[in-house]
Chain A
Amino acid sequence: MHEYAFFLGCIAPNRYPGCEAAAIKTSRKLGIELLPLKGASCCPAPGAFGAVDLNVWYAMAARNIVLAEQMNKDITLICNGCYKSIYEVNERLKENDDLRDGVNEVLAEIDMEFKGSIDVYHLAELYYDPKICGVDKIRDSVTRPLTGTKIAVHYGCHLLKPIKERRFTDSENPMWIEELVDALGAESVQYRNKMQCCGAGGGVRGFDLAHSLDITNEKLINVTEVGADAITEVCPFCQLQYDRGQIEIKEKFGIEWALPVLHYNELLGLAQGMTPQELALDLHGIDCKPFLDKIR
Chain B
Amino acid sequence: MAKGYNDPAMETRFQDRYYHSADNPEFTKEVERISRTIAHMCFQCGTCTGSCPSAPRSSYRIRKFVRRAVMGLEREALTDPDLWLCTTCYSCTDRCPRGIAPTDIIMAMRNLAFKWDIIPRNFLKTVQLIYTTGHGVPNNDVNRAARVKLGLEAEPETTHKYPEYIPGIQKIIDHYKMKENADRILAEGEH
Our pick among B138, B157, B173, B175 for the contact of A40 (Cβ within 8 Å) is: B157
Task: Name B178's contact: one of A48, A53, A110 (CB within 8 Å).
Answer: A53
Report, as a range, how many residues of chain A touch the other chain.
35 or more
Question: How large, as a class, is the contact surface on chain B?
Answer: 35 or more
Candidates B114, B137, B149; contact of A280 at CB < 8 Å: B149
User: Which B38-56 residues have a C-beta within 8 angstroms of A?
Assistant: 53-54
| A13–B144 alpha-carbon span in the complex (Å) | 9
- Does A54 lie within 8 Å of B111, measured CB to CB? yes
Q: A39-B158, A56-B173 are in contact. Are A207 and B53 (CB under 8 A)?
A: no
Output the least CB separation between A68 and chain B (Å). 12
Q: Is the interface of B mostly helix, strand, loop or mixed?
A: helix
The answer, yes or no, to whether A146 is at the interface (CB within 8 Å) is: no
Q: Is the CB of A8 within 8 A of B149?
A: no
Q: Which of A14, A36, A197 has the most CB of B within 10 A?
A: A14
B6 lies within 8 A of chain A by Cβ? no
Contacts of B127 in A (CB 8 A): 49, 52
Bitwise, B65-92 to A at CB < 8 A (1) or not (0) is: 0000000000000000000111111110
Q: Contact: B94 with A56, CB < 8 Å?
A: no
A207 touches B84 (CB 8 A): yes
Chain B residue numbers with a CB within 8 Å of A49 are 123, 126-127, 130, 136
**Bound Cα distance A278, B103 (Å):** 39
Assess the A47–B135 pair: CB atoms within 8 A: no
User: Quick one: closest B residue to A203, CB to CB?
Assistant: B123
Complex Cα distance, B161 from A48, in Å, reads 24
Known: A17-B152, A48-B123. Contact between A212 and B114, CB under 8 A? no
B172: CB under 8 A from chain A? Answer: yes
Shortest Cβ distance from B88 into chain A, in angstroms?
A: 4
Cα-based distance from A96 to B124 in the complex (angstroms): 29
A202 vs B34: C-alpha distance in the bound complex, in angstroms?
A: 17
12 further A-B pairs in the complex, CB-CB below 8 A; given A21-B152, A201-B88: A10-B138, A13-B158, A21-B151, A47-B88, A52-B126, A53-B111, A60-B173, A157-B91, A197-B87, A201-B87, A206-B120, A277-B149
Chain B residues with CB under 8 Å of chain A are 34, 53-54, 57-58, 84-91, 93-94, 101, 103, 106-108, 110-111, 114, 119-120, 122-127, 130, 134-140, 142-143, 146-147, 149-152, 156-162, 164-165, 168-169, 171-173, 175-176, 178, 182
Which chain A residues have a beta carbon within 8 Å of chain B's beta carbons?
A: 8, 10-11, 13-15, 17-18, 20-21, 36-42, 44-56, 59-60, 63, 106-107, 109-110, 112, 157-158, 161-164, 171-172, 195-197, 199-204, 206-208, 211-212, 214-215, 277-278, 280, 282-283
